[in-house]
Amino acid sequence: MANSGISLTVGVLSERDSHEHRVALDPSACGRLVHSEMAVLVESDCGLDAGFPDHAYEAAGATIATRSGVIADCDVLASLSFPPRAVTDQLVAGQTIIGLLDPLNSLDRVGPLAEQGLTLVALELLPRTLSRAQAMDALSSQSSAAGYRAAIVAAEKFGRYLPMMITASGTAIPAKVIVIGTGVAGLQAIATTKRLGAVVTGYDVREASRMEVESLGAKFLTSSVAAGTGEGGYARPMTTEEQSTQQQELAAALAAFDIIITTAKVPGRTPPLLVSAETLTTLKPGTVCVDLGASDKGGNVFGSIDGSTTTTTSGVVVVGAGNLAADLPASASQMYGKNITAVIEALAPMGAITIDPTDEIHASLVASHDGIVTNPVLRAAMKLEPLGSSEPLKAQAP
């Protein structure tokens, strides 16, 4: 499908989810790909919600095309999430999809698309602890945007000042904020609410997080249960007894706070419940809970609904905010575009997608290739036998 003289053709489509305002490639990312002698096909108006008009893409060297044209002529389709079936049904063997595909929650689609001959590259599967993978880490880049935006949303929903305010009419005491989970999103939420003047506490079951939290000028709170760090840099799963102890301690502490931001979201798993129904009843009226863990599988806050704001009978505001990066579309898209270009450069160093199963990044990122599911985590989840070692494979141009 690549054009004559062009090593690879990368396509990007409009994200037709009403809650999604980002685009998978911004003009600057397209410019980098064009500079690397790749062609870029962009669906008309795909970047408008993020503030990127068609002429900005054309200035970067991209070609504006119809939706069907992009699908038919691209070698690689860059996407924010799993493309809808209306798109994947039109793809043919040899084409590649790169994006946050959430494969562990989309197993029913991974198998058939592998059999269809598509190469699926799921950014959630990236081994995030590898230093050379940092430029590809879309989870971190989008979590950073979400954490920043969570602080802004919390400030907007909260009915009082965040900083201390001394006026002729009296003094307003600063709001007390607790951020639960001090990964990328949590640290960004801490830094932003701190800059807004609140008194901020970071909570994490990993004692190793203390230094990062305190370096931002926030207080650090942890549980008597030291969960430690598990696979992928996330806190390890707790035993039932540990979880009960941790939740009781946290519930007792939360009543003192005005704003609660929760960030515990692990790809492919049900998010842990951190603020229970009982805990909500102990919070002061007007308390704001922003739940970055909200999803169709549940959330960190009892009763949170992703994409909706509700108020409990006791006056606690609960914001389901599982996709807040979409509310910062220009910046989030620019970071995501850099992630996508870094992945393409890693998978196509010679101008064609080449999957090396002996490379840790390739072996982790690639969900399917050459007609089979290749990622070991997905194979285990699908109850498929482990694959043996093989020589690096070169994807054929569609």
Q: What is the DSSP string of 363-377?
A: HHHEEEETTEE--HH
Distance, CA of 154 to CA of 261 (rounded, Å)? 8
pLDDT tens digits for 300-351? 999 999 999 999 999 999 999 999 999 999 999 999 999 999 999 999 988 8
Top-confidence residue, 240 or 249: 249
Model pTM? 0.90
Distance, CA of 123 to CA of 18 (rounded, Å)? 22
Distance, CA of 125 to CA of 138 (rounded, Å)? 10
Is 225 among the domain residues?
A: yes
Out of 7, 44, 109, 128, the active site residue is 128
* The pLDDT value given to residue 131: 85
Out of 75, 234, 247, 356, the active site residue is 234
Is residue 272 pLDDT above 50, yes or no? yes
Catalytic residue list contains 140: yes
* The pLDDT value given to residue 242: 78
* The pLDDT value given to residue 396: 38
* The pLDDT value given to residue 241: 80
Out of 28, 44, 134, 243, the active site residue is 134
Catalytic residue list contains 134: yes
Is 1 among the domain residues?
A: no
Is residue 397 pLDDT above 90, yes or no? no
* The pLDDT value given to residue 168: 87
* The pLDDT value given to residue 165: 92
Is residue 395 pLDDT above 60, yes or no? no
Query: Are 122 and 173 found together in one domain?
Result: no
Query: Are 355 and 292 found together in one domain?
Result: no
Mean pLDDT of 247-269: 91
Is residue 232 pLDDT above 80, yes or no? no
Confidence tier at 81 by pLDDT (50, 70, 90): very high
Is 126 among the domain residues?
A: yes
Query: Are 265 and 162 found together in one domain?
Result: yes
Is 363 among the domain residues?
A: yes
pLDDT tens digits for 347-392? 998 888 999 989 999 999 999 999 999 999 999 999 998 887 444 4
Mean pLDDT of 144-148: 98
Top-confidence residue, 262 or 230: 262
Average pLDDT score, the chain: 91
Is residue 41 pLDDT above 90, yes or no? yes
Catalytic residue list contains 336: no
Is residue 80 pLDDT above 60, yes or no? yes
Distances (CA, A) of 184 to 78, 145, 213, 292: 24, 9, 11, 12
Confidence tier at 247 by pLDDT (50, 70, 90): confident
Query: Are 180 and 194 found together in one domain?
Result: yes
CATH number at residue 302: 3.40.50.720
Query: Are 130 and 260 found together in one domain?
Result: no
Mean pLDDT of 243-257: 89
pLDDT tens digits for 167-187? 888 899 999 999 999 999 999
% of residues, the chain, pLDDT over 70: 93
Mean pLDDT of 57-68: 97
Is residue 3 pLDDT above 90, yes or no? no
Query: Are 124 and 230 found together in one domain?
Result: no
Range of the domain at 335: 9-136+329-394
* The pLDDT value given to residue 391: 43
Distance, CA of 365 to CA of 247 (rounded, Å)? 34
Mean pLDDT of 63-74: 97
Mean pLDDT of 86-91: 96
Catalytic residue list contains 137: yes
* Weakest mean pLDDT among 4-8, 162-166, 253-257: 4-8
Distance, CA of 126 to CA of 364 (rounded, Å)? 6
Is 351 among the domain residues?
A: yes
Task: Tally the domains of the chain.
Answer: 2
Query: Are 323 and 334 found together in one domain?
Result: no
Catalytic residue list contains 234: yes
* Weakest mean pLDDT among 37-51, 100-114, 309-323, 345-359: 345-359
**The token pair that represents 289 in the structure block:** 């809970």
- With contact defined as beta carbons under 8 Å apart, do 261 and 287 qualify? no
Residue that is last in its domain, among 327, 350, 372: 327
* The pLDDT value given to residue 373: 95
- With contact defined as beta carbons under 8 Å apart, do 179 and 213 qualify? no
* The pLDDT value given to residue 235: 57
Element (H, E) at 87: helix 85-88
Residue that is last in its domain, among 277, 308, 327: 327
Residue that is last in its domain, among 327, 348, 367: 327
Query: Are 162 and 245 found together in one domain?
Result: yes
Query: Are 27 and 150 found together in one domain?
Result: no
Is 235 among the domain residues?
A: yes
Query: Are 323 and 335 found together in one domain?
Result: no
Say whether 379 sits in a helix, a strand or coil.
helix
* Weakest mean pLDDT among 31-40, 221-230, 305-314: 221-230
* The pLDDT value given to residue 314: 95
Out of 137, 204, 258, 327, the active site residue is 137
Query: Are 206 and 336 found together in one domain?
Result: no
Out of 106, 140, 334, 364, the active site residue is 140
Kind of pairing between the strands at 96-99 and 354-355: unpaired
Query: Are 262 and 375 found together in one domain?
Result: no
pLDDT tens digits for 281-303? 999 999 999 999 999 889 999 99
